[in-house]
Structures are given as structure tokens and as C-alpha cells.
Structure 1
Amino acid sequence: MKKIRLFNIKVFILSGFVLFGMASCSQQPAKETETDGETEESTAPEGLRPVSLTNQQFEALSIKTDTLAQFGFKDVVVANGNLNVPPQNKASVTAIIGANIASINVFEGDKVKKGQVLAYLNHPDLIDVQTEYINARNQLEFMEKEYKRQQKLYKEQVSSGKTYQKTRADYYTLKADVLNLEAKLKLLSLSPSKIKEGKVYEKVPVLSPIDGYVEKVEVMTGQFVEPQKPMFQIINNDHVHADLMVFEKDVYKVKVGQKIIFTVESLPGEPMTATIFAVGKSFEQNPKAVHVHANIDNKRGMLIPGMYIVGRISTKNEFVDALPEKAVVGNGGDSYIFISKKTDDGWLFTPLKVITGQKEGGWTEIKLLSPIGSGTKVAWNAAYYLLSEMKKSETGDDD
């Protein structure tokens, strides 16, 4: 019996050592797994290291960086249109009276300020109107004295009422003529007060009525321009907006405040967002569609009125994170985007593993495996190139 009990005790003790050893072994890998998890969250995926680019490389590749975009893949209305500006941001500069072009001071594309001289006009008629004003002004001064004299005589009952009434009528008629000539001189951008003092302008300036750019020059030096003939077209692009045409079948879906994502044909790969501020109330006939106007939220590049655009109107304003397809690259069955960071001597791009979802119109839905800061910027293009550079870097390190 003692031998049996002793054997049982030895077996029990041995079993305890075995269980303790197993428990110790099971705890150690857990710590390693936890450490590995922290490493994966703070560094690039295994086999893909961050890559550095110089400023020259960054500019040569025309890499665009921005935060994740918001894109609507469902309940959208696709519409085409153009960039446009409000009517008050366009100006057609015409001649007030017939005259010759003495000189032209601007070229098409020049930036101009309101009141800046675009050209000078000269013509005998311009001198005649100034001379006419001087004569009328002198006559008015004489007639004013005569009117006051006749008024005094009439009150003293020395002069007849008929003489007084005629003098009064002549005075106010001449005064109206002078005011009319003054208004004409001001339209010609001439100073009536200086002309009254004897200054006669041989040429008159043509001024820009708004700030903007010279869109068209429609005259040449020496040319005679008829009254109201357009000489210059000025346009201000500060308030350029998206002007889309929505077909009749979709009009009821579109409302003020809805978001639009659009691209400009001449700026491929640079999508922009806009917010609808006005929906037209009448149909254009060719095609039968309504104008929808939207303010551009993130203007980029040179936006010129008339540029062709294609837009997607999200009718329910339901959006998900998305990026242009050139911002996503596949590697080993996984998808990656690249977080960008500006450094002292260039740029640093770190790969971030993501899951892709819906794809449409050159956009790809991005599902993050872990959250990133709302202000975190990522590369919007050149993902394939960045991946290639990283693989080159890995090969170089291995050598």
C-alpha cells in the first residue's frame, strides 16, 4: 500500500510540473502576438516600407495629395454641362459714339482692374461734343443771369409775365442741354469740370467696367467702330461654377443643397466637389433639360468658363470614403493606398492596407481596416509608381 501511495504522489508531482510548463509556454506566445499587433498598427505592412521622394520627383510625377473623398455610389443623377460664371461677372465693352481706335493697351488673357484703360479712341466728333459743352456752359451762365434779372423785374412788376416765362423756359431748356452733355462726357470717361476750365481731350479712354481677364479683343488699331459695337469681352473667373443640364426625367430628384462630384474634361484625374445653389425653373429645348448651378467647393487648376464637365449628383447625400482608381494598387492579393507626409527635404509615403468596395466612374470605395485622422492626407494618384519604388527599395536593402 505504501508503494502504491508513493507512486501516486510522484505521478501527481510530475503532472504538476508538466501543467506548469504548458501554462508558461502558452503565456509567452500571447505576449509576442500582442507586440506584433502593436507593430502592425504603427508600421507599414510586412515587405512594404515607406518610400521617400524628393520635391523634384514629387513635382515630376504630378502627385496629388488630399484627404479621403466622399463619393455617392447609389441614388445618383449623371449630368453633363460646362463651367460658367454669373452674368454680373461678364462684360461687353462697347463704343458710346462712333470713333476710331487710336491705340489698344491690352492683349487677350491680360488681367485687368475695374477702371483700367483698355484702349483710346479719337475722332472729330469727340472734340465737337467737348466744344459743344463749353459753349452750352457759357450760354447757361449768361442765361442764368438773365433769368434772375427777369425774375426780379417780374416781382417788381416792371417786366411782363410773358417775357419772364420765356426767359425761364429758355434757361431750364439750356440747363437740361448742359446736364445732358455732362452725362455724355462722363460716359466717355471725360471730366466735365476740367473741360469747363478749357481742357479739350484729343482722345478718350475705353475703361474696363469690372475686374477680370480680357477674353476677346474684337478691334484693331485705326478701325472705325460704330456706336454699341463690342470692342472687348471681359470675364471674371472668381465665381466660376458648375452649370449642369439635368434631363426632364431626373429633374424631380434634384434639389438645392445636394452634393455633386464632377470632373473637367481637360483636367482628367482631378475630381472636384460642388454644392447645388440653384435649380432652373424652365426647360431648354435642345436638349430638353434644366440648368442646375453649383458652387465649387475645392477649386483646383485653371478653371475657365466653357470647359466641358461631367457630374454625379447624389440625390440622397449618402457618401462613403473613396479615392480615384489611380490612388489604389494591388499587391499579393491585397489593396493599398498611401498616406502622404511632407518632410523637410521632400515627401514620405507609407502604404496602408485597405479593402476596396464599389467602383464607378473612375472612383473606388475605400474601407479602412483601422481609423485614420480626419485631416490625414493620402496620394490621389501614382499608386503603382509608389509601389514600384518601394519594391526597388526592398531589393536594394536585401543586396
Structure 2
Amino acid sequence: MHQFLITYQNNMKKYSIVLIISLFLVSCSKDEKQIEDQKTEETSSSILKLTDSQLKNMAIDTVSFRNAVLPTTIRLNAKTEVTPQNTVSITNAFGGYVKRIALIPGNYVKKGQVVVVLEDPQYIQMQEDYLTTKALLEQANADYSRQKDLNIEKAASDKTMQQAKASKQTLFVKMRALEEKLRLMNINPSSVSLNNIRRTINVYAPMSGMVSEVFTNTGQYVSPADAMLEIINPSSSLLNVKVFEKDLGNIQVGQILNAFTNSNPNQKLNAQISAISNEVNEDGTVDVYAKITNLNGIRLAANMYFNIELIINQLRANVLPEEAVVHFEGKDYIFERMNKNQFKMILVEVGVSSNKMVEIKTTVNTNKIYISKGAYNLLTALKNSGEE
């Protein structure tokens, strides 16, 4: 009896194992059939068959793949940088007390405009010295003429005449020196007279531009070495473009780039690369300088930030016309022409586009014929046939 129970239990285990294996095989068979059915359904849903009359009503054109070089766009950052020749520090050779300065950073000034008025007793002294020297020179000229005439008549010695001549020349040199000093003060020597002695001088803008910094205020004394303000000409600025080392191989002098601000991305200025630095910055970038060639109405300011678009030709890819790619439910498709009346919709991944051509990244048969014009008509017809 015990042996019978053992035999019975062993047989039941075998039957259980066979049953489990059978159920597993049936389940796998059903899953495989479902997958095959799904694939068949997906394949049938991507195939479009048209009658001759339907095809006649659809204006379609065919196209083949092309292998072409597409320009790619590198996006970089830049800011305006004013060159030294377009930056002026306003100083005065004689110093003085600031009587008037009515400018703040951001103000635009024109060449020749008064930007600072200075006041100092030395300006009065300089004009006094000039008028005194001028009067003494007139006296010296008269004395020399008299001594010259006397010398001709042998009434005066040569030494006396030479002394008169030296005095005249010394005063003449001093007067010329004082005239130049007055011009450095922006005082016209011909305007200085007994009735016109000024205690203030004007400081003028040497060029048109924008005030970038103001270093002084009313009442402050400025020495000849002190800059009172700084004027820049931002319209002649360069763009300092930060280029990473990995992109440096694509950068060349003479390349054209577009620049725009975050606030107005549709308004772009044009610039041309003029110089490339040989040093790498701490952040791994290299300074590339571009000369602005067309502002396109953009008003520049110092240290103004820009986004840069630089187009380079380096990508060789399989391309189709942009109209050959249809977008549906967040995905991109193209249509292959299988025969005269039959078309197949293929899911693809697109890349960069340029000049109405688009890169197809997905591996497809490039020897087949594909639809360009009318691809959306085929998509509409395919979806309508699937709903029927």
C-alpha cells in the first residue's frame, strides 16, 4: 500500500509538469500570434492603395534621396566690446575745479559739445601772462627797430642791437608758448583781451558717442591726470564671441554671423569674424572678434549681450525635400511609392534642414522612389481609409 501511494504521487507530479508546460506553450503561441497580428495590422495600416481615378485626382510628384552637404548652425554667446580707438577718457591738461557737469552714463553727446566746465585761478594767470608778454613783445619790437636804425647810423653799437634782437626773440617764443597753452585750455588766444579775461574753460567732446562712465562731480578738483568721464562709440564696437574648443575648428576669419538679443530675437545684426585669439580662457572658451557690418536698426550699448548664430558647412547627409516629410501625432513620416497605385508610410527621424531640404536620420532604402509634393494628401487618404 505504501509503494502504491509513492507511485501515485510521482505520476501526479509528472502530469502536473506536463500540464504546466502545455499551458506555457499555448500562452506563448497566443502571444506570438498577437504580435504577428499586430505587425500585420500595423503594416496594413501604413499601406495605401489608390484606384486610377483616385490617383488622378491627387497631384503628386516623386523624388529620390540625395546625398548632400547641409549647413549646420552653431549657437554661441557674445557681448559688445569697444576698441581702444573708439574709447576716449576726457581729461584736461591743467586741471581745475568742476563748475558744471550735467551728464550721466548713457547720455549721447556730439563731437564739439561742451561736456565739462572747469574753473581755476591759473586760467586767469595764464591769460594775464599772455597779455603781458604780448605787450612787452610790442615794446621789444619797437626797441629793436630803433636800435637797428641807430646801428646803421653808427649811433649804437652792434652789441646793443643784438641784445634788443635777443629780447624780442625771447618774448616772441614765450608768447607762442603761452598761445599753445591757452589752446590746450580751449581758449582762443585772439579772443583774450583786457576786457575779456575768463576764469572758466570749457572741455569739449572729441568725438560723438555715448557717455559710459562719469568719474567726477560738481565742486570736485580734478588734476591733469584725472579722467572726468569716458565716452565710447558703440556703433564701432566689436562682438567678443565666446567659442568652445570643440567648435574652434569650424571658425575662420571672414565668416559671417548673425546676432540678436533675447528681448528681440527677430531683429538681427550682421558681423564678420576679424580675429581669433590664441589663448584659451579659464572657462574653456576662446575669444573670437567680429566686426559689425550691419546694425539693422539695433542700438548698441557697452557690454551688451547677444546670442550668436554661425552657419558652417560640414554635415553630409541623406536628404529629401521638406515637403516630402509629413508630421502626424508628434511623429514624422515619408511615403514610399511601392508601385503605381500603392504607397507605404514610413516612420522616420529628421535632422537639420536648410534650403528646403531636410536630413533623414533613419536608415531607409535610398534607392526607392518617394513622394514629395502631395505627401499630405496621401496621409489624409490613408487615415480616411483606416476609419472606414
Q: Which residue of 196, 199, 202 maps to 1:202?
A: 199
TM-fit CA distance, 1:154: 4.2
Q: Deviations over 1:180-200 (max 9, x none)?
A: 111111121112111036311
Pair 1:238 & 2:235 matched: yes
Residue matched to 2:172: 175
TM-fit CA distance, 1:260: 3.1
TM-fit CA distance, 1:134: 1.0
Q: Distance in 2 between matches of 1:255 and 1:153?
A: 80
Residue matched to 2:289: 293
> TM-score with structure 1 length normalisation?
0.56
Q: Distance in 1 between matches of 2:263 and 2:215?
A: 26
TM-fit CA distance, 1:164: 2.7
Unaligned ranges ≥5, structure 2: 1-50, 62-69, 318-326, 333-348, 359-388
Q: Which residue of 213, 222, 226 maps to 1:225?
A: 222
Q: Distance in 2 between matches of 1:164 and 1:317?
A: 87
TM-fit CA distance, 1:261: 4.3
3-state SS in 2 of match to 1:130: helix
> TM-score with structure 2 length normalisation?
0.58
Residue matched to 1:104: 101
1:293 partner letter: Y
Q: Which residue of 72, 77, 82 maps to 2:79?
A: 82
Residue matched to 1:65: none
Q: Distance in 2 between matches of 1:173 and 1:198?
A: 26
Q: CA RMSD in A?
A: 4.1
Is the 2:254–2:272 contact (alpha carbons within 8 Å) kept by the matching residues of 1? yes
Residue matched to 1:189: 186
3-state SS in 2 of match to 1:213: strand
TM-fit CA distance, 1:285: 7.7
3-state SS in 2 of match to 1:83: strand
Q: Distance in 2 between matches of 1:96 and 1:357?
A: 63
Residue matched to 1:121: 118
Q: Deviations over 1:21-56 (max 9, x none)?
A: xxxx95x6566334x99xxxxxxxxxxxxxxxxxxx
Residue matched to 2:48: none
Residue matched to 1:73: 72
Residue matched to 2:304: 307
Is the 2:212–2:302 contact (alpha carbons within 8 Å) kept by the matching residues of 1? no
Is the 2:72–2:313 contact (alpha carbons within 8 Å) kept by the matching residues of 1? no
2:290 partner letter: A
Q: Which residue of 337, 357, 371 maps to 2:351?
A: 357
TM-fit CA distance, 1:219: 1.1
3-state SS in 2 of match to 1:228: coil
Residue matched to 2:356: 368
1:187 partner letter: L
Q: Deviations over 1:96-151 (max 9, x none)?
A: 21311111232322111111111211111111111111111111121122233334
Residue matched to 2:254: 257
Is the 2:95–2:223 contact (alpha carbons within 8 Å) kept by the matching residues of 1? yes
Pair 317,201 (structure 1): closer, same or farther in 2 beyond 3 Å:
farther
Unaligned ranges ≥5, structure 1: 1-24, 38-70, 321-329, 336-354, 359-364, 371-399
Q: Distance in 2 between matches of 1:157 and 1:287?
A: 87
Pair 1:159 & 2:184 matched: no
Residue matched to 2:144: 147
Q: Deviations over 1:324-354 (max 9, x none)?
A: xxxxxx764478xxxxxxxxxxxxxxxxxxx
Q: Kindly, what percent of the aligned residue pairs are identical? A: 29
Is the 1:259–1:317 contact (alpha carbons within 8 Å) kept by the matching residues of 2? no
Pair 249,33 (structure 1): closer, same or farther in 2 beyond 3 Å:
closer
Is the 1:356–1:367 contact (alpha carbons within 8 Å) kept by the matching residues of 2? no
Pair 246,148 (structure 1): closer, same or farther in 2 beyond 3 Å:
farther
Q: Deviations over 1:81-106 (max 9, x none)?
A: 53112322211101221311111232
Q: Distance in 1 between matches of 2:265 and 2:110?
A: 32
1:73 partner letter: T
Q: Distance in 2 between matches of 1:186 and 1:146?
A: 29
Aligned residues: 275
3-state SS in 1 of match to 2:145: helix
Is the 1:258–1:316 contact (alpha carbons within 8 Å) kept by the matching residues of 2? no
Q: Distance in 1 between matches of 2:316 and 2:121?
A: 67
Q: Distance in 2 between matches of 1:169 and 1:331?
A: 101
Q: Distance in 1 between matches of 2:351 and 2:268?
A: 19
Pair 1:215 & 2:236 matched: no
3-state SS in 1 of match to 2:57: helix
Q: Distance in 2 between matches of 1:203 and 1:319?
A: 71
Pair 334,315 (structure 1): closer, same or farther in 2 beyond 3 Å:
closer
Is the 2:72–2:314 contact (alpha carbons within 8 Å) kept by the matching residues of 1? no
Q: Distance in 1 between matches of 2:147 and 2:316?
A: 83
